[in-house]
């Protein structure tokens, strides 16, 4: 559901930006002389009203991504031989989701992955190919995250809140319990 709703939200942002003529559609060719920008994800979510939807999609994706990261940490905790890797990945994901923003983390990952291809395409002024590659990479990344569902289906996570502590005893009740215990011992 996370991947589906995040992808759907990003496509809604794209269609809003295309409808408002802020970006060039992915199916057409980009011309520098036009007032429209290339359809990069960040540019699609740059101006209102698309930016409003984009920020909410990213906020929800960041929060749910953090929950997925915690569940993945809990899933791997008893199995991992090097716990520092599991803890490190949880810390990195937490920073990505809350401190650096989930979108920034995705952009950094995508830039590192496609550094040479993306810049090569942009240097050749092939912005449409670079934008299409960016959209495809995001969709592949969300598909990868969706594969966690197959692993999580065998797990049952539950949060239990209980108040097992009885209310505090008064001093007189404590003494009476002690005296009852001592009389039982005799």
pLDDT along the chain (186 residues), means of 10: 92 95 88 80 89 90 88 87 88 76 56 55 69 88 86 78 63 49 49
Domain residue limits at 18: 2-159
Q: Is residue 60 part of a domain?
A: yes
Q: How far apart are CA 24 and CA 62, in angstroms?
A: 27
- The per-residue pLDDT for range 81-101, each reduced to its tens digit, is 888 888 988 888 888 777 645
Retrieve residue 178's tokens.
Answer: 């002690």
Q: Is residue 181 part of a domain?
A: no
Q: Is residue 113 part of a domain?
A: yes
Q: pTM higher than 0.75, yes or no?
A: no
- The tally of domains found in the chain comes to 1
DSSP string, 31-63: -TTSSSBP--HHHHTSSTTHHHHHHHHHHHHHH
Q: Is residue 67 part of a domain?
A: yes
Q: For residue 89, count other CB atoms closer than 10 A to its CB.
A: 15
Q: Is residue 49 part of a domain?
A: yes
pLDDT at 178: 44
Q: Is residue 171 part of a domain?
A: no
Q: Which helix (H) or strand (E) holds 137?
A: helix 127-146
Q: How far apart are CA 186 and CA 175, in angstroms?
A: 17
Distances (CA, A) of 143 to 44, 104, 126, 160: 21, 19, 26, 31
Distances (CA, A) of 129 to 11, 39, 61, 167: 18, 10, 26, 67
Q: Is residue 184 part of a domain?
A: no
Q: Is residue 130 part of a domain?
A: yes
pLDDT at 181: 47
133, 121 Cβ separation under 8 angstroms: yes
pLDDT at 123: 58
Name the one residue in this structure whose structure tokens are 């749910």. Answer: 64
């Amino acid at each position: 559901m996370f991947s589906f709703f995040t992808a759907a939200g990003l496509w809604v942002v794209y269609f809003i930006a295309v409808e408002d003529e802020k970006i060039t559609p992915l199916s057409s060719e980009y011309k520098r002389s036009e007032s429209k920008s290339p359809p990069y994800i960040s540019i699609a979510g740059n101006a209102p009203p698309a930016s409003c939807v984009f920020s909410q999609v990213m906020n929800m994706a960041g929060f749910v991504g953090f929950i997925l990261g915690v569940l993945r940490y809990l899933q791997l905790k008893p199995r991992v031989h090097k716990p520092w890797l599991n803890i490190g990945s949880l810390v990195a994901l937490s920073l990505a989701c809350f401190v650096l923003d989930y979108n920034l983390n995705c952009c950094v990952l995508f830039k590192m992955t496609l550094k040479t291809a993306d810049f090569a395409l942009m240097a050749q002024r092939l912005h449409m190919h670079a934008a299409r590659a960016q959209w495809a990479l995001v969709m592949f990344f969300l598909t990868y995250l969706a594969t966690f569902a197959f692993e999580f289906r065998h797990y049952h996570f539950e949060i239990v809140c209980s108040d097992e502590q009885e209310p505090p005893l008064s001093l007189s009740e404590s003494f009476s319990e002690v005296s009852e215990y001592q009389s039982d011992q005799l």
